[in-house]
């Protein structure tokens, strides 16, 4: 996100610096086509656009949940083909029931719409939620794994006039894994509750293929890079802002898979470390018994 500098302030007198100094610090238009460089360190920064604070009564918002559910051994992602609209592919997603946790909602909606039982993945992606751990536990070699949402989207939702007209739909996206034997439930479809779900067909597809299907053929993976198919231009993460759901889902499919690989890598490191520690402890015990 581009940044702009705050105007200079004369802290001694409490007055603003001269007009010439303030003018020198104004942001000049970027006509080069390149991203502006970050300002020097130790300078106060503000983004070009700050988030807008909004407030809603309970009749004006809906909590929903979705999962990026991977069958890790086969490198496949669970997506849904909406056969009522051929060529349209989705991630499982739905509204939270009253009294239900958002995590339970994510698992339930994935089973109902996608047909597979999943487990939320515990990993190490960064989150602003406090860990709740004492300070002495925060300096460990590996952080505590968690299953906090990986992504959040906020979108307007049309409601009946009785419910207020327009509301806000908050979708929590979780990373999940499909345990073995990774078979679709035999009663899949029996729990569909809306007409829009009647054509749903949950399927496991390779992650790279899921990118093309979810984006409607607009994005593709080539040489481990995410590209726009039309001109082979690399996709920039800043382009998520303002993108439609299908592009967002396609990008999340790749970002989620990269995080899954990172989680498994850290788990292997921890297991190897624990094995070495156990070996060292056993060696010390044998040495002390001699």
Distance between CA atoms of residues 233 and 217, nearest Å: 14
pLDDT at 15: 43
Q: For residues 32-52, give the mean pLDDT.
A: 58
Within 10 angstroms of residue 89's Cβ, the number of other Cβ atoms is 21
Residue range 227-275, pLDDT digits in tens: 999 999 999 999 998 899 999 999 999 999 999 999 999 999 888 888 8
Lowest mean pLDDT among 39-43, 47-51, 68-72, 199-203: 39-43
Rounded (10°) CA dihedral 42, 46, 51, 52? 130
Give the start-end residues of each E strand in 147-254: 151-158, 166-177, 200-206, 219-222, 225-228
Domain definitions of the chain by residue range: 58-127+141-268
Structure tokens at 55: 């407030």
Of the two residues 57 and 286, the one the predictor is more confident about is 57
pLDDT for residue 210 is more than 90: yes
| pLDDT averaged over every residue in the chain | 83
- pTM of the prediction? 0.78
CATH 3.40.50.300 fits 58-127+141-268, yes or no: no
Give residue 44's pLDDT band: very low, low, confident or very high (50, 70, 90). Answer: low
Of the two residues 142 and 238, the one the predictor is more confident about is 238
pLDDT at 195: 86
Of the two residues 159 and 139, the one the predictor is more confident about is 159
For residue 189, the SS3 value is: coil
């Amino acid at each position: 996100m581009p940044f702009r500098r705050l105007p200079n302030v004369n802290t001694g007198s409490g007055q603003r610096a001269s007009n010439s100094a303030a003018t020198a610090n104004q942001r000049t238009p970027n006509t080069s086509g390149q991203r502006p460089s970050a300002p020097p360190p130790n300078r106060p920064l503000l983004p070009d656009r700050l988030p807008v604070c909004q407030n809603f009564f309970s009749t004006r918002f809906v909590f929903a949940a979705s999962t990026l559910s991977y069958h890790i051994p086969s490198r496949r992602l669970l997506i849904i083909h909406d056969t009522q609209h051929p060529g349209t592919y989705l991630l499982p997603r739905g509204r939270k029931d009253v009294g239900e946790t958002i995590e339970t909602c994510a698992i339930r909606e994935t089973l109902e719409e996608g047909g597979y039982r999943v487990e939320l993945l515990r990993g190490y992606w960064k989150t602003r939620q406090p860990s709740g751990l004492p300070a002495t536990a925060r300096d460990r070699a590996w952080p505590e794994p968690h299953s906090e949402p990986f992504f959040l989207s906020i979108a307007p939702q049309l409601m009946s006039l009785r419910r207020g007209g327009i509301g806000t739909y908050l979708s929590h996206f979780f990373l999940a894994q499909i345990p073995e034997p990774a078979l679709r439930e035999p009663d899949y479809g029996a729990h569909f509750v809306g007409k829009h779900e009647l054509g749903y067909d949950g399927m496991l597809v390779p992650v790279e293929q899921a990118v093309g299907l979810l984006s409607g053929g607009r994005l593709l993976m080539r040489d481990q890079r995410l590209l726009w198919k039309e001109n082979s231009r690399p996709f920039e993460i800043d382009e998520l802002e303002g993108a439609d759901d299908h592009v967002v889902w396609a990008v999340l499919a790749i970002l989620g898979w990269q995080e899954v690989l990172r989680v498994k890598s850290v788990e292997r490191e921890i297991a190897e470390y624990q094995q070495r520690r156990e070996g060292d402890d056993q060696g010390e015990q044998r040495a002390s018994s001699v």
